[in-house]
């Protein structure tokens, strides 16, 4: 028996379908995904043209970088001046560094353990493409220098200046007036960022097209085992380690990943976690983390909490040892983890710095040929996405953990935008049904 729909029901169904398409076509995630697919297609079928798209991806990242310093500065100054309790600021900073060191060390150990277990380096070197690694291997590796690290890390410099200004502002008699002005400026900066983020699909397209066009998907075949091991290890780290930490604090890692999906797709397309730094800070605040915690943890984490980079570095060294048939003792593996605990801190924010860290670590071990880096250059770009994705998720989880432990997490302050849209849609449908 056929049930004839009333004109009102038909009209409601049409409106629902139209509303669905409007939400899809106005969703930034959708367009970033389309841009990534388009970049892969162009890189595969017109590599020469795709390589020229590098300028688009780089320009977008350069524009985003312009927002990083002012956003970090304004967020931290407003957070500290609004918190009032300077002892709490110091406690959050120390707690963050301890958390970073523990989790990063754990990620190094996981990288070594998985590489030893799966043995991605047990392959024939004759089938590998060798790239030019002379700029990393020709000059002698230097020991890690904290002064050099600070002088070449704008994020840490801005972080330090912002903390000093925030502390000074706490004691100033013009505090309220200054906070009001900085708050107004902060809103304008985030408004500007909102408009720039509309260009995210272009950035993702340019970054992905260049990567596929320059290196080609065919370069992945000889080192597919290494890539598979890296992605598998980072996946296990995210869903088991970080997921376990989130569960302890009564949070869900899957829901968090869904919440920051736009940032993750942007990172996937551009291969840079910096491209999503400003927007991830904004998302965490909306989620409920206090401004002061977000301002202190995220910028520091981008230099000291590189979980994905730590996994990659430790796995790469074990991979090269296996590739050259070098047997490493338990003590030597522990030594590698110890060396990387220090040298990996210098792998932040500078292109190619990961290879410099690998070169310095290999030089310190005196057992694995540094020239082996040439085998990694061809697929490094394809693994940088996994590093960047793990880094940004790890820093997001760290912020939530610190905020929760400091009772600076207030879900009622920030709401999931997706849920708000869904609630509004349901409300409008109910009104139409009542009508």
The pLDDT tens digits for 26-35 are 777 788 889 9
- Chain mean position to CA 351: 15
Alpha-carbon span 238 to 308, nearest angstrom: 9
Torsion, Cα of 177, 181, 183, 187 (10° steps)? 160
Residue 132, SS3 per DSSP? coil
- Chain mean position to CA 282: 14
Alpha-carbon span 96 to 102, nearest angstrom: 10
99-110 burial, b if ≥16 CB within 10 A, otherwise e? bbeebbbbbbbb
Task: Identify the residue whose tokens are 């009032």.
Answer: 84
Alpha-carbon span 196 to 403, nearest angstrom: 28
Bridge partners for 409 per DSSP: 289
pTM above threshold 0.75: yes
Torsion, Cα of 325, 308, 347, 245 (10° steps)? -120
Q: For residue 376, what are its two tokens?
A: 């990694």
CATH T-level fold of 25-424: 1.10.3860
Alpha-carbon span 275 to 107, nearest angstrom: 23
Alpha-carbon span 240 to 301, nearest angstrom: 20
What residue ranges in 331-404 does DSSP mark as E strands?
A: none
Per-residue tens of pLDDT for the chain, all 435 residues? 445 556 666 666 666 666 666 776 777 778 888 998 899 899 989 999 999 998 998 898 888 888 888 888 888 888 777 666 677 778 888 899 899 989 999 999 999 999 999 999 887 766 666 565 555 555 544 555 667 666 767 777 888 888 888 888 888 888 888 888 988 998 898 888 888 888 888 988 998 888 888 877 776 777 888 889 999 999 999 999 999 999 999 999 999 999 998 889 888 888 777 778 888 988 999 999 988 889 889 888 887 788 888 898 899 999 999 988 888 888 888 888 888 887 776 555 444 556 777 877 787 777 888 878 878 877 777 788 888 899 999 999 999 999 999 888 988 544 444 444 444 444 443 343 333
Positive or negative: CA dihedral 229, 314, 157, 103: positive
CB 52 within 8 A of CB 202: no
Q: For residue 109, what are its two tokens?
A: 């150990």
CB 58 within 8 A of CB 262: no
Domain residues of the chain, as ranges? 25-424
């Amino acid at each position: 028996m056929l049930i004839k729909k009333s004109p009102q029901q038909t009209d409601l169904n049409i409106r629902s379908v139209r509303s669905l398409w409007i939400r899809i076509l106005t969703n930034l995630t959708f367009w970033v995904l389309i841009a990534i697919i388009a970049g892969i297609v162009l890189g595969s079928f017109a590599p020469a043209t795709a390589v020229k798209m590098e300028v688009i991806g780089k320009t977008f990242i350069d524009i985003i970088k312009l927002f990083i310093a002012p956003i970090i500065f304004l967020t931290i100054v407003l957070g500290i001046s609004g918190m009032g309790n300077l002892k709490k600021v110091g406690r959050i900073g120390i707690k963050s560094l301890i958390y970073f060191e523990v989790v990063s060390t754990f990620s190094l150990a996981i990288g070594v353990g998985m590489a030893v277990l799966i043995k991605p380096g047990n392959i024939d070197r004759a089938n590998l493409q060798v790239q030019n690694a002379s700029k990393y291997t020709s000059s002698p590796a230097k020991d890690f220098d904290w002064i050099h690290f600070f002088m070449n890390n704008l994020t840490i410099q801005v972080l330090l200046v912002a903390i000093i200004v925030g502390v000074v502002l706490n004691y100033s008699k013009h505090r309220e007036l200054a906070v009001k002005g900085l708050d107004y400026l902060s809103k304008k900066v985030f408004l500007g960022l909102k408009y720039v983020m509309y260009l995210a699909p272009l950035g993702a397209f340019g970054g992905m097209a260049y990567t596929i066009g320059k290196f080609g998907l065919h370069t992945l075949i000889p080192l597919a085992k290494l890539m598979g091991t890296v992605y598998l290890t980072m996946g296990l780290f995210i869903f088991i380690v970080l997921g376990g930490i989130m569960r302890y604090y009564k949070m869900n890692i899957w829901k968090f990943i869904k919440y920051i999906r736009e940032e993750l797709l942007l990172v996937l397309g551009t291969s840079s976690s910096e491209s999503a730094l400003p927007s991830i800070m904004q998302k965490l605040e909306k989620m409920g983390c206090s401004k002061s915690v977000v301002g202190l943890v995220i910028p520091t984490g981008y230099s000291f909490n590189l979980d994905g980079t730590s996994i990659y570095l430790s796995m790469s060294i074990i991979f090269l040892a296996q590739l050259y048939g070098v047997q490493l003792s338990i003590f030597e593996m522990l030594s590698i983890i110890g060396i990387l605990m220090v040298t990996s801190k210098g792998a932040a924010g500078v292109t190619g710095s990961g290879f410099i860290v690998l070169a310095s670590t290999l030089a310190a071990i005196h057992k694995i040929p540094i020239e082996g880096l040439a085998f990694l250059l061809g697929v490094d770009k394809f693994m940088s996405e996994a590093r960047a994705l793990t880094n940004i998720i790890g820093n997001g989880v760290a912020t939530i953990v610190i905020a929760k432990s400091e009772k600076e997490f207030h879900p009622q302050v920030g709401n999931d935008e997706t849920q708000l849209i869904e609630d509004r849609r349901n409300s409008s449908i109910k009104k139409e049904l009542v009508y």
